[in-house]
Structure 1
Amino acid sequence: VMDLNAKGLFFLTQAMVPLLSVAGTADNPARVINVGSIAGLRPQKVPTFAYDASKSAVHMITRGMASFLASENITVNAIAPGLVPSSMSKQLETYSDKNTILSRIPLGRFGAPSDMAGVCIFLASKAGSWITGTVIKVDGGALVSRL
């Protein structure tokens, strides 16, 4: 899981730096947007330790690269999705039923691909040109829930 989630994005970004640095300017830097997870921000109620650690690594790589690549006119940010229904998240039903999971999300629904896309569009737009080293939680409030 570390190879896919952490090493893969590190080596891909490293390989793309020459192209990104040519494309970026001070006013309109090139963008790298990584996909982490809220699982990398807080221990989960399910035993997904390796996955959680790999997503935490994504967040740290994002912050480190942001500092290192800023001088190349490249911003590096990440999104940290909450629960978005997928074949992977289907396994969570082994540990908890849908209503229990939803009760832990203050906005009362699962995420959708369009929720993630909206944040990525923002980060890739002119509005995101002065944001770097940030991990944006897109989780319906799950990490601030008191449940």
Structure 2
Amino acid sequence: MKNLFDVSGKTAVVTGGSSGIGAMMAKGLLSNGAKAYITARKLERLEAMAEELSQYGECVAIQADMSKVEGIEAFVEEVSKHEDSIDILINNAGANWAAPLEQFPEKGWDKVMDINIKSVFFTTQKFIPLLKAAGTSESPARVINIASINGIRNSGMPTYAYSASKSGVIHLTEHLATDLASSNINVNAIAPGLFPSDMTKQIVENDGMADAAIKQIPRGRMGQPEDIAGTAIYLSSRASAWLTGKTIALDGGMISTA
């Protein structure tokens, strides 16, 4: 029972790992003895984050465009040059687009859907051989999909593609979990609430908006790096070996008050 949350020696892949909660989860895994591959589209930012995270453990940066299947395939091929198996895949890369209903553009819809839901499916699909190679009955490989509480309830914001895509992530998580359980691969999701990130900076950096948002959170604060990292570690460790197909709302109780 002493090592229930041990992730030392495991190899993780974190998409969208150059900033925000992706970097927070990568840091948590690295700090607890895992090796991490992080990917993002912008190389300079990605390499800077990999250098920063390398003080906590072995962190490898691989540039990739996860919105396209060919980009996903190239990324998996590059990881496969270094690893015969992958213990943890965190599908975190995401995008958002806000526009009034009458003006919401097709390019915004497609951009969000390509990275938020299409990439989750095809990244998982392409990594199946490496995940199978790592998983056993007692210690399954893990896929962790990053959804959002806005995939569970109406955010009240004109982010139609984002909400729809994150709802899709939650359902896809259940579907993949059912199909991959026999391959010793657990699939779960985290639905974060308000965390500081590029996607939420308009709220976080505006005192009035931040205060209003925090008033809706029973715990009285926004999420911290330890919150998302701790949940990712739980979903990656022996402690969650019998948990699959579930979405954990990590929001300080926000949606419970709706």
TM exceeds 0.5?
yes
Query: TM-score, structure 1 length as denominator?
Result: 0.93
Task: Tell me how far apart the structure 1 counterparts of residues 167 and 225 of structure 2 sit (CA, whole Å).
Answer: 21
Across the two proteins, how many residue pairs are aligned to each other? Answer: 145
Task: Tell me how far apart the structure 1 counterparts of residues 209 and 136 of structure 2 sit (CA, whole Å).
Answer: 48
Report the equivalent of 1:113. Answer: 225
Q: Which moved more, 1:67-76 or 1:85-94?
A: 85-94
- 1:8 lines up with 2:119 in the alignment: yes
Task: Tell me how far apart the structure 2 counterparts of residues 22 and 88 of structure 1 sit (CA, whole Å).
Answer: 35
- 1:98 lines up with 2:210 in the alignment: yes
> What is the Cα deviation at residue 141 of structure 1?
0.3
Identity, in percent, stands at 51
Structure 2: stretches of 5+ with no match in the other structure: 1-111
Q: Which amino acid aligns with 1:54?
A: S
Q: Which amino acid aligns with 2:123?
A: L
Report the equivalent of 1:135. Answer: 247
Pairwise CA RMSD: 1.4
Report the equivalent of 2:257. Answer: 145
| SS of equivalent residue, structure 2 residue 198 | coil
Higher relative contact order (CA 8 A, sep 6+): 1
| SS of equivalent residue, structure 1 residue 76 | strand
Task: Tell me how far apart the structure 1 counterparts of residues 202 and 135 of structure 2 sit (CA, whole Å).
Answer: 41
Query: TM-score, structure 2 length as denominator?
Result: 0.54
Deviation beyond 2 Å, 4+ runs, structure 1: 90-94
Report the equivalent of 2:76. Answer: none
Would you tell me which structure has more helix in proportion to its own residues?
Answer: 1
Report the equivalent of 1:77. Answer: 188
